[in-house]
Amino acid sequence: MDEEKSEKTSKNGSFHETDSFDEPKGAPISMEPVFSTAAGVRIDVKQESIDKTKKLLNTDLNASTSSKSFSSPLIKRSNGNSAFVSPFRRDEPSSSMTTRKRSAGNATEEIAEPPPKKPACEDSSEKKQKNGKVKKDKKKKKKKEKGKKKSHKKKIMKLTADVMRVSRNYERDQMRMVLQESEGSPLILAICSYVCGRSVKFGDKIQIEAEVKKKNDSNVATEIQFDKILKNDNNGARKHISRHPISCPPYCNRPRFIHELSDLEIKKTVLQVNVLDLNLEIYTGCVNCKHAITPDPETGRIQCSKCRESKTKTMVFGRMRVMDFSGQIYVNVKTKTMQKFLDMFGYDDVDQWIQFKEPHERANYVFQALMIEIEKDLSNEWECTDVAEMNWRAYADYLKEKEEKQLRRAEKKMKQLSNRNDSQ
């Protein structure tokens, strides 16, 4: 077997079989050094070139020991040490390809951590605070602008007018008056505080300096507000002046519905009602205190037991049940208002008052539509202080305006709610 192998090697010139190489069979293979690359390309390096490099290295090393000034490109010196630099070496870029050195003691590389990020909740809260500040600033600017506009738009007017009607508004602690400068001039609603206007009554002539709040289409003032009465001439109004009816605008007290009287703050208002029932009582009463007076049975002398007044007058007192679409209530009707009520239905004197009490007369007033003014008395009962015939056209206009205001308020509330939801 050994002989056969030696024969094959002598013939082929190699210990390997020629079938394992790419060269054709029988071709001699050189024994010179071979360098291979990653791409699989063979590079043949001859022995002569290797010997030349060895000689160059030896000469460079000998020269470095003898003379310090000489330096070879194949030798690199660093910190007093010399090292061989291959002529085939390519210098790597210094900045982009540099690698980080690891410390000898630590196997892992220490990298500086980035600064911690703030949590998202803090960012959102800061943004909300900033947005809130911006909104507050905008609101303040808008208020200032509105205040400036209002101050510029204020119109002051001096007025000397007759007082056509006076009524107290308990909810706002105000006095509301209907004024008229002269006969035929437009009616003006004037508003002031209760302290300012408590001494004013129907039939007075007052002089005021007021701020105009509303105007009509003809640019005529319809509502004013004042803080001080410059002059009050008691009973100085023109002759034959008549009281402004509660059924016509402008309303000193705006009409309400019976179900709204559950609000305890309302102590005086106007209602549109239908009469359901009326109990009437006629008596002789004191002129001063309005109490009933009965003559002394022994002497027959007539004298009030409370105020000792001897002057008397035939008086009438009624208790009336009224209703609207929302409910019904009882109201007390005293002599002055009861006389006005009876006059509306044609009962003028005392004899006709007695006739009014008969059952067959009820058909004349039951279910009749009226406008009444009511006020809480000392016993916390509703008392009818004025009565008027219905003005359906004016009342319809008032109801339409009231509905529009309620719709506007509802729209404002919806907008506010939507804005709050958007901000959240």
Structure tokens at 357: 């009490």
Contacts of 26 (CB under 8 A, 6+ apart): 12, 18
Tell me if 123 is assigned to some domain.
Answer: no
Same domain, 339 and 261: yes
Same-domain pairing of 382 and 409: no
Does this model's pTM top 0.85?
no
Interval 53-78: pLDDT, tens: 777 777 766 655 554 444 555 555 55
Q: Is residue 147 part of a domain?
A: no
133: left (phi over 0), alpha (psi -120 to 50) or beta: alpha
Query: Do 158 and 190 lie in a common domain?
Result: yes
Q: How many CB atoms lie within 10 A of CB 414?
A: 10
Are the C-beta atoms of residues 29 and 21 closer than 8 Å to each other?
A: yes
Residue 188 sits in the same domain as residue 257: no
Q: What is the per-residue pLDDT across 106-117, written as a single tens digit (0 to 9) for each? A: 444 445 555 555
Judgement on whether residues 342 and 239 belong to the same structural domain of the protein = no
Ranges 128-132, 160-164, 240-244, 408-412: which has the least confidence: 128-132
> Is the alpha carbon torsion for 53, 54, 56, 57 positive or negative?
positive
Residue 180 belongs to domain with CATH number: 2.40.50.140
Q: Is residue 109 part of a domain?
A: no
Helix %, strand %, coil % for the chain, to 5? 30, 30, 40
Residues 240 and 333 in one domain: no
Distance CA 396, CA 391 (A): 9
pLDDT digits (tens, 9 = 90+) for 345-397: 888 877 788 888 888 888 888 999 999 999 999 899 999 999 999 999 999 99
In a domain, 408, yes or no: yes
Is position 79 within any domain? no
Q: What is the pLDDT of residues 281-293, one digit of tens each?
A: 888 888 888 888 8
Pick the last residue of a domain from 41, 68, 95: 68
Residue 346 included in any domain: yes
Assigned domain for 96 exists: no
How far, in Å, CA of 424 to CA of 414, rounded?
15
DSSP secondary structure letter of residue 375: E
254 phi/psi in degrees, rounded to 5: -70, 140
Residues 179 and 270 in one domain: no
325 and 402 in a common domain: no
Q: Are residues 336 and 403 in the same domain?
A: no
* Containing structural domain, residue 62: 32-68
- The alpha helices in 190-280, defined as continuous H runs, are 194-197
Backbone angles phi, psi at 397, to 5 degrees: -65, -40
Kindly state whether residue 211 falls inside one of the protein's structural domains: yes
- Say how many domains are in the chain: 5
Q: Are residues 339 and 403 in the same domain?
A: no
Residues 268 and 374 in one domain: yes
β-partners of residue 255 are 270
β-pair partners for 78: 81
